[in-house]
Amino acid sequence: MSLAIQHAQAEQQHAIDADAPLFVQACPGAGKTHVIVSRHLQRPSGALRGGRALVSFTRTARDQMKARCITEGHPELAQFPHYIGTLDGFIWQFLVSPYLTLPQPPQLLESWAQLAKAEVKLGTRAVPLSAFTFTLDPDALREDVDKPGEKSSATRTMSDSPYPWARWKKAVLECRDLWHERGYFTGHEARLAALGALRTDPRRMAVPLCSRFTEVIVDEAQDCSITDLAILDILRVHGIPLVIVADPDQAIYGWNQADPARLLNMRNTLGNRTTLTGNRRSAPPICALATTLRTGNRPPDISVVRTSGPAVHLVPTKFGKAGKTTHSRTGQDLVELVVELAERHHESDITNPSVLVLARKHALLPPALRRAEPDSNTITRLARAHQCLQAGTTKATELDQACQQAEQVLLGYWYPDQTGSITRICRTVGLSPAVLRRHAYAFLLELPMPSAAWASEVNAHLKAWWRPSGAAPGGGKGLLRSKIASIGQQAPQHPTTRLTTVHQAKGDEADAVCVLLPDDDLITRWHTGNATTAEEQEELRVLYVAVTRARRLLILSVLEGSIAALQDFLNRYQVPTHMCH
């Protein structure tokens, strides 16, 4: 066993054994999930009813932790009194829902888009409530509403109306409050309620948690918003032993009010600290490059599973319009070149190396791959759901969201006067959610490929489709009338190649990663160290997350004029590079 592996294992064991409160700073590929679950498996509570909470940000991470408990022969560690779930679920289950007194059962939504007819109306104009983002100042316990993006359909609708933004914002809050009074919460409202209650009577909420959990482990804590950190800090002050696992250099959700400075302040309050520097993902050249993007003067992380790897490839690139990206000297399509390089440098036991092509912004991707507007019209959302079902590589969470969109369309036609969530409409009309899900899946599957005349084709299927007892379609109510916006094609140019943004790829990895870098100013800030604003510093963290997705080969796609200075900079830091002429 190499010294690098021994050192990484010793670091992991220390993180498993150390007492809470504890801050674990983990590099990319450090095996955080292994450490968290091993801590859970190896440190059973001595108390009769004492449990442990393992809190993540994604359902995928939650499912992985539950699955490992089961495969290790301890399914009881995934059950009461333990908790394995998301941060949204933890806040809702332990800090909000037990203290609500509402006339009907409250419901936590992923977004307001899950509600039928949740629209903000002013005059003759209507904008989906899901088009707006709510923010919260946890210090003053004051919320606000952000304007939608300048190019969004919501902004176009509001611009065409006679009402100023201040009036629209008032209408947004009034609309949200009406749904809130009916028992609907999103993560924002749940956090607002939790923080308000904790500030009012913290002991009432902390005592039940203290009696149930010996510690609460929060993974990927760099993704916490300032409100999340405020909630966790109150729990810490009132006796909840916290284990915070994070990499502040991967904090890339400033738009969601994540704040690395507040995270570091919390680190200073926890007392015990440990680090994980053994990178079980990336080759040494990638680790060496990544350290040039980090804060402080820490040495490169130790590549545990690879002793060597190909040099970082630099590709002089022409970034054309409509996402057309080519090698600036040969004119070859960039993705084709990246696939060729990945196959040339793949490891002997890998026949089809996986490839990620990452952009910092959706605008750099081909139009077919750009993010859909959250406030798109119903027919466009249904077309994307159909596309998702037909892809064949859809994740379970994406398939669930696609079926929910079809369910909303079916319910909107069958029961045009019903409003609210799918769950509540089903309860009101006496329809089995399982029956609805089966028909939604089949309905999506039966639809033809989207086309210019798709609305009439979908409507014909709606009229001919099975109807539950009690359904009462009302003429043209619930039928689709709009045109489809661009939904693109998700099929990759190569079966193991994916083009996406850095934020969407967070948590992923691939044998070869190509990062699109069309911004001369960003590269200048990188090699001069002159990133002064919070936005500029986050841009470098986004780049850090991008390059650390690579296992073996890293390719940087750079404008011709910046490539020489970047190569000189990397060579000074002893990062091996190769120019793709």
Annotated binding site for ATP: 26-33
Cα 192 from Cα 135, distance rounded (Å): 10
Contact 578, 555 (CB under 8 A): no
174 alpha carbon, distance to own chain's centre: 28
- Give the residue from 320, 314, 360 showing the smallest Cα distance to 337: 314
Cα 178 from Cα 566, distance rounded (Å): 54
* Whether the bond into 450 is cis, omega within 30 of 0: no
Contact 142, 103 (CB under 8 A): no
* DSSP string over 383-450: HHHHHHHHTS---HHHHHHHHHHHHHHHHHHH-TT--EEHHHHHHHHT--HHHHHHHHHHHHHHSPPP
Cα 452 from Cα 437, distance rounded (Å): 27
Cα 147 from Cα 150, distance rounded (Å): 8
Contacts of 231 (CB under 8 A, 6+ apart): 91, 95, 191, 194, 195, 198
Cα 571 from Cα 296, distance rounded (Å): 19
- Give the residue from 498, 500, 491 showing the smallest Cα distance to 391: 491
Cα 504 from Cα 498, distance rounded (Å): 11
Binding residues, by number, are: 26-33
